[in-house]
Structure 1
Amino acid sequence: MLKKVVVSWCLLVSGVSLLAACDSAPEKAEVIDSHNPGTVVLLIEREGGEGPYVEGTQERFKVTASGESFKAVRWSANAGSVAAEAERVTWTLPEEGTASLSVSVETTSGKTAEGLFNFNVVAAAVAPGTTIDAGPDMTGVLCELAFDNTGKGHLVYTNETHKGLWYATWDGTTWTTEQIDGPGFNNGGTYVLNWNIALTLDVASGTPHVVYLKGPGLPGTTAANWRMTYATRVGGNWVREEVDPANRTSYTRVSVALNPNQGLQPVVAFSDGSLGTGVRVATRTAPGTWAIAQHNTAILMGDINFDASGSLYIPYSPGSGTESYVGVRPGVATDIFQLDGVNRNNTLWLSAVWGPSQHLLLLSSGALDGTKSALQDLTVRAPFTTSTLVASPVDFENDANDLTYGGGKLFIAQRHATTLELITPDARGYWTFTQLGTVQEGSRPSVAVRPTDGTPHVCYQRDGKVSFQ
């Protein structure tokens, strides 16, 4: 699997510092001219390898000098292990980060030279992709992935062919699928709107909580008989409840989270796409019973998140203007914080997760090309208005993406046109991009870290099928 990384090295030859670079694709080795007559010109070659330098792999290198033969060659590395064979060396690469390989030579003519080579070693590639649902239907234009504390995978995905909603679990080897909702015979099932779903997971018990829109209505901006629906799995069976009796439009935005301060009660935030209806917050106070409160006259812009105290953080755009904020519930009217460069006209959704030490991370999905503040790192403080924000670019093109934080690392899954990429920062904070293959245009991936081994996994749509790797 190829990664968009740049590998550079600096050669120190007879005390003269020289700079050269190559990209991750293999190239014909080049002689680096020292512009210093009488010195030895060294050449480094990578043998039998291509693409990025991946942790744990073995790379073989050869050093040569123009017009010279070697009397002695000595290799060393600051990390990993080396096995030298004269002018050749086999280097087992260390963990991701910057690693150095050094060589010192003495020629038969009595000249000496030294070389220091710095490499950007990237994390091991994600495992090859698998199809989760191999049936004949088109599936997975939307999927939501999560892991419980035991490492079991939980996935909710859409069936585009028959307008249904499905659930799958992964035991580390095999996926098992079952239907949550969809059209049926005398069972209360009906069509599921395929682009408005949300999943959260009780990581201790593995209980999924899903919110979606269902009904006979046609997509449109006017009320079309779509109803907000909640589903959870109890005793091996799915329990489905209507959250709100009001008709909703197909542009309704939804998110769900569990309140840690109230026995992990499911809480749903939602809003219609049109102005004036505002963000509503629905709390499940008992099975089949939901208390709905108006939060503000705004549009929901992203994933909601609780902190440990039970405060709910809601990304939204106000009823006037196009800027975006994060608001706190419960809280006073001033408990809001404006995000940098995010507005409802150029951002489809803000994926949001907690990072370390009260850092709320929000990532723009569907932002304009060249967006300089796609990732928002909000350090939450008390009072909320004293919080601080650092915004960063992610990629020039931000078609659809998702983010997660686990194992002390940030991971982003991004659909870049029809290319799927896994993005994570290196030791210096620069992004590394791992290409995971093709993905369906118009779909949105989801990413989560398996807590038992710290491995990031992604669900996505490929060749019309919901897939995973």
Structure 2
Amino acid sequence: MLHKTGVPTILIWSSLCLLMACDNTPRATEVIKSHGPEEGSAALVLLIERAGGEGPYVEGATEHFRVVTSDETFKSVRWSVSAGLVTPDSERVSWTLPPAGQAVLSVSVETQSGKTAEGAFTFNVVAASLAAGIAIDSGPDVTGSACELAFDNAGRGHLLYLNDTHRSLWYARWDGTTWTREQVDGPGFGTGGFISAFALALDAVSGTPHVAYLKGYGSPGGAPGFNRIWYATRVNGAWVTENTAPVNRSPNTRVSIALDPAQGLRPVIVVSDNVTSLSSLTRTAPNTWSPAIIDATSGTAVEYVMGDVAFDAAGTLYIPVTTGSGGPIYLTAVRGTTAESLRLEPVDLANRWLPMVWGPGNHLLMLASGGSLGARMGLLDITVASPFSASTYTAFPVDNENDASDLAYAGKLFIAHRHGTALELITPDARNLWTYTQIGTAQSSSRPSIAVRPTTGVAHVCYQRDDKVSFQ
């Protein structure tokens, strides 16, 4: 069972804006960090600017870069690449990209003041055939400020995304070549409403999607009385939708969903807002939902679900929880009517979403999607013990700048990471140090979603670019 959650939501912009020929819209130069430590003078940090390009790095295309550093003038600059054709011109370079795969662009500099530095930048080069199919919805509407990606065991892709123009919810399936799109819900004549939050859980064996979402009327920030939690699933090729409870919700409602393996993969929705208590909704039969209040922190007035929820094989439900802005983060374990919570030290996670997946063994991996510069607690590796009170965790930094992230685990850890408009794939190397690979351009204010295709072991990402939901 796979589950994902979507909530619609910067690397420092260069002052140089380029006019792109595709739509004549002013665009800020994309800035890429080498993630250091660079070799050479400790105080000299190198960045490269991508000039005139955007989106994925496509085999055979020519990309243009410029190396920059703070308050220094270059005396000499040398460029090299692991593959492809490079044409240097002092601090600028043109690079014709090699065939699909990973490739490295390296630069070494000496400044007029005598400082030296070297930087290496890793890129994921995609095949032209894949790049041509990256836009999933080519219609005129804005799509993809939120998207969720998952794969079933047969390698078919399942994608849930928001149509931002009409506030409708869409689903797309990928057979390895072609995407097929269907509307799940949205505004209609005597039916539907506007969608503002959603979550996806996938039965990886059958390929059946299970969706929880917030549907209401008026603007996403409208009156609380018009928002309710809905559920949708695909039965015999058609979408079936259910109102899970006649309870009015705040537009600030957060929702997540998971399938309980100890109960035949029945869907369980976890929901919270700033009006009602943290609670779960269990689907016991079609159109039948059983609500339950979850007291995660022993009587705290308001508790919020803070990230993706997950079941273990025995049916214990794990929920990231917070008690409010600036409050501590808890991992709450719910078994039947009993809830226990592991307090995680106060970290820079408040008002952020926490993607969470099972790692190796009894390890839950929790990632901060967004945070302050240099945040130490980017990734939490939680060792779940029995009794739960004996559980422990370790925290690791992921990147100096984190605007939005997602993670997946399939024998190793994969992180999709956006800072500004730069989109990266982060993976551990043989020494467990992070490897940062550039995979293209994503729209600022959007959050990517990552999943690993089990038939190939390749990580894929959905994200928003040029106001369109995209896939790579």
Q: What TM-score do the two structures reach when normalised by structure 1?
A: 0.73
1:54-453 equivalences under 5 Å are 125=125, 129=131, 130-186=134-190, 188-193=191-196, 196-220=197-221, 223-272=224-273, 274=274, 277-296=276-295, 297-318=302-323, 322-330=327-335, 335-342=340-347, 346-406=350-410, 408-453=411-456
Listed as ranges, the gaps of 5+ residues in structure 1 are 10-20, 29-45, 61-94, 97-118
Distance 1:245 1:177, change over 3 A: same
Residue in 2 aligned with 1:103? none
Distance 1:334 1:252, change over 3 A: closer
Inter-partner Cα distance in structure 1 for 2:169 and 2:150: 16
* Contact kept in structure 2, 1:4 and 1:434, CA below 8 Å: no
Higher strand fraction (1 or 2): 1
Distance 1:375 1:326, change over 3 A: same
Name the larger-Rg structure. Answer: 1
Q: What TM-score do the two structures reach when normalised by structure 2?
A: 0.73
Bigger RCO of structures 1 and 2 (CA < 8 A, at least 6 apart): 2
Deviation string, structure 1 residues 363-415 (Cα, Å, up to 9, x no partner):
01122222101100001110111112110011121111111111x11111112
Listed as ranges, the gaps of 5+ residues in structure 2 are 1-29, 49-64, 68-77, 87-100, 103-118, 296-301
Distance 1:250 1:177, change over 3 A: same
* Contact kept in structure 1, 2:156 and 2:176, CA below 8 Å: yes
Aligned residues: 379
Amino acid at match of 1:138: V
Inter-partner Cα distance in structure 2 for 1:138 and 1:332: 43
Secondary structure (helix, strand or coil) at the match of 1:349 reads coil
Q: CA RMSD in A?
A: 3.4
Deviation at 1:343, TM superposition (A): 5.8
* Contact kept in structure 2, 1:221 and 1:251, CA below 8 Å: no
* Contact kept in structure 2, 1:347 and 1:366, CA below 8 Å: no
Between the aligned residues of both structures, percent identity stands at: 52
Inter-partner Cα distance in structure 1 for 2:126 and 2:344: 32
Deviation at 1:217, TM superposition (A): 3.7
Distance 1:468 1:207, change over 3 A: same
Inter-partner Cα distance in structure 2 for 1:366 and 1:270: 21
Deviation at 1:340, TM superposition (A): 3.5
